[in-house]
Structure 1
Amino acid sequence: MEIRMRQKTFIIALIVLLLSTLLPAFSLAQTAVPEHTDSFYVNDFANVIDEKTENYIVNYGIRLHQQSGSQVVLVTVDSTNGAAIEEYATSLFNAWEAGSADNNKGVLLLFSIKDNEYWAVRGKGLEDELNDAVLSQILSQSLEPDFARKEYSFGARKTYGSLIQKLGGVWKEQVGSKTYVSDNAGVLKKVSKLYLNQSSNRFKTTTGSGIYVVTVKNSADKNLQEYTYSKFASIGAGSKDVMLVLDIGGDNYHILQGKDIDGMLTNEAMQEILDTVLEPEFARKNYASGAVATVNALHKFLLARADIPQSSTLASSETIAVSSTAALQADKAMVVENQPVSISKGIIVSGLFLVFILLFSLAIVWRNRKIALYGYGSRKQRHG
């Protein structure tokens, strides 16, 4: 009876041990992170960042990466679904391999909208430029006020800019003055033309592509496709440039890309942008907003393909956070050192440990049964 009680106690203890071992792995599995977007530097899963802000951020995120190897990644989610925000952010940081394995120079900024929280994860390679005090100050001054007002685009832009500048990157610059807009039909607002010119001058440095916008009242004796080809050649557009023509009188539009990017920006890709972005606005005669939205979508497409994120495994990371809730003020920043493992590694390690424990427990049970039958240290006699 005593041996059976010991066996039962041992089994209960074993179950508790196994559960305590496996629960972290299950927790990691439940907080499985999504794949990053094509843009990589902005992953707006919560849909709270406007496209102008996103393109601006991605542009200078790419420039910083090309300049120094550092990467600043912005992520927004509706919720972490019960997972601690620091664990979720660190899982994203490692799964997406922000920064490089050699230099560990990555930063990930996470907004969890419904949870009303944010968190920043910093690689050890940036602990000099972004020490705890500096990062805490950036979050509390650049992010906290706008986040509290739910003005996420403003907060994201300010915070991302502060991080870029602290890491020695470019955030504000004097862009070129080349004209990319020819509003012959007179349907574009002055502010729209200014933005279209500035955006192409700004982003061409990164993508190599300028986007021309032309409006006409009609294409005269040429069909719109012929007019677009002729206009593209006459203004000396480059082999990586794009031209969007809006024929107001003919109630039509056409788009043309240079030969050096037609393998990337395919006719199918352009048609999808026209159908989903331009057509609804054009049908309502909102020509200015349609042109701006289409150019933004084209810039987003091109920026997403202007840089290939480094594939690297981070050995370790540091996280620092400032809560946006009233209960935790900016001066109560938390710093946590982590040496996280990936979800797959966690499950594999737990599985191997489980196999070891099971084998060990079977050996103990077998031994106890032997003791119960034959006594401690006895050997079953063989009868002939």
Structure 2
Amino acid sequence: MNTYTESPMLDSAQPQENLKGKLDRAERLNKTKSLLLVMPLLAFITVFFLMPIGAMLLRSVQTPALSTGMPLTAAALINWEGVELPDEQVFAVVGHELLTLQEHRQLDSVGSDLNRVMSDAKSLLARTARGLASETVEPGSFKTKMISSDKRWGQVGIWMQLKRLAPAYSASNYVAALDLRYDDQGNVVKQPESRRIYVSILIKTLLVALGITGLCMLLGYPLAYMLATLPAKTSNLLMVMVLLPFWTSLLVRTSAWMVILQSNGVLNSTLTSIGLINQPLELMYNMFGTVIAMTHILLPFMVLPMYSVMKSIDATYARAAHSMGASSFRTFLQIYFPLSLPGLSAGGILVFILATGYYITPALVGGRTGQVISNFIAYHMQTSLNWGLAAAIACILLLIVLVLYWIYDRVVGINNMKLG
């Protein structure tokens, strides 16, 4: 009798395929659930982090003053070669557009926008528009009339400045943020010595942030060590004192330092009363006051990462080193300190990044000599309204911080730390 021997194999393969399909569906379902759980965080990061940074990057390369306010002029200047003065046709385009803006009472607005990126642009446009409107301009005489209204129209340099502002996107803001400028031939040259501001302030900001980071390390390491090694009762009391600044407003803490450091403040009055000084010390409205106040405010950001790492260090390592004859200093240097380096480096990079972008404390305590780059960014955002320059400075600062973080990760990263 013939029997069909392959049917058992087929019967056993079918459940296996069904089981595999069920496992795949279950895995897809788990991935979908995980994605749905992460979606709110991704949406938050996208809306409140990535999109603002993208908007800042876009704003830093935008030059809409001329392309938006005087689009016909911008289109005419893009085709101008820039060797000699433009021809009569270009002069006529500019003249007609100035008269149109004056007629619609938009000249002041356009002139103010141009004035932020081109000095004396508002007065140039206003004077020229008044000269053209004073009498009827015959066709073919715009060039003569505009030059007679303001001699600057007879200089190639002023036209080169307008030509650089003609495109809607350019690197003009970055050139200005690096204390550079375009000359009349379109070459990038250094600003005069008296107008070089941003590079020196940026370097000072990075040095101040580095110094504050170093001070926080020196002050925070012993405190974190005490928090991690003292009995729980004492440690908890110290932790409350460390966390106490987080329960008060940043403005309140900064104001407290102003009360302490001012000429008739607590510190100067105390030193004068005990006879250590004869006249008040200059402790505020300078870089000294900025560093002191920022160090106090940022110190908890150094202590907490170090404490979390030190608390996890097993005490048996130190006991084993002592049992092998190592001194306390050698045990600390070769065992405890290398194990605490992840917390020290994490706190250091956190404090450094926060210090580079601080604004309120330097503005209130630092005065003119204690300002950092964030104060100039705020000035261009709030006072001069030159948002493109402010965005360019912020992007340069962001790039420097990212490069320094990359160097830190390559040199001092946790993966590169080894016991000595």
TM-score strictly above 0.5: no
Bigger fraction of residues in strand: 1
Larger relative contact order, structure 1 or 2 (CA cutoff 8 Å, min sep 6):
1
Q: TM-score, normalised by structure 1?
A: 0.22
Q: TM-score, normalised by structure 2?
A: 0.21
